[in-house]
Amino acid sequence: MKYSKTEAGQQAFKQRSPTISARQRSMFILFDGQRTAAEVLAATSGMGATMDDVDSLVAQGYLVAAAGSVSQAAQPVPAAPPSAVAPALHGHTDQERYLEGKALATQVTARLGLRGFRLNLSVESAANLKELIELLPKIQAAAGPEHCKELEAALRG
């Protein structure tokens, strides 16, 4: 099923509401009315995202089923390898690259555990694409360049 953000969800996200966990924040960014829940779950599987997280966002009124969406409840959620997470972003706007890059950067820094905690906070506070690009060398130094290829592709477009 495809979901779209609601105005209440966008406000809660902007205000960093405690009702949205860090994992759900990463998921929330990816819901655009075009991606299915399965695709978003595959992209955030490394963070431990589950359908319960999606259901929670829907129950709180932060997500709604997108118009024309078909239920995919019967389909299993595939676990995506990190290389399959970032779609080709050629021709996307800076805002789209920022949202995708922020989700990927959060995922990469979350894998670092406590070692990446401060870096994760820096990613969370990045307000635009330029700030994320400035963080890229620090993320690469901490996680290794091989784990940041998709992130770099998303940010550099």
- 67 by Cβ neighbours in 10 Å (0-12 / 13-18 / 19+) ranks as exposed
Output the CA angle 62-66-72, nearest 5 degrees: 100
Query: What's the domain count of the chain?
Result: 2
Residues 90 and 147 in one domain: yes
Its domain, for residue 120, covers 82-156
Residues 42 and 90 in one domain: no
Q: Where are the beta strands (DSSP E) in 43-146?
A: 63-65
pLDDT by residue (tens digit) across 31-76? 888 888 888 888 887 888 888 888 889 999 999 988 765 444 434 4
Residues 141 and 111 in one domain: yes
Three-state DSSP at 52 gives helix
Instruction: Tell me how far the alpha carbon of residue 35 is from its chain's centroid.
Output: 12
Which residues face 3 on adjacent strands? 65
Three-state DSSP at 100 gives helix
For the cut 70, the answer to whether the pLDDT of residue 81 exceeds it is no
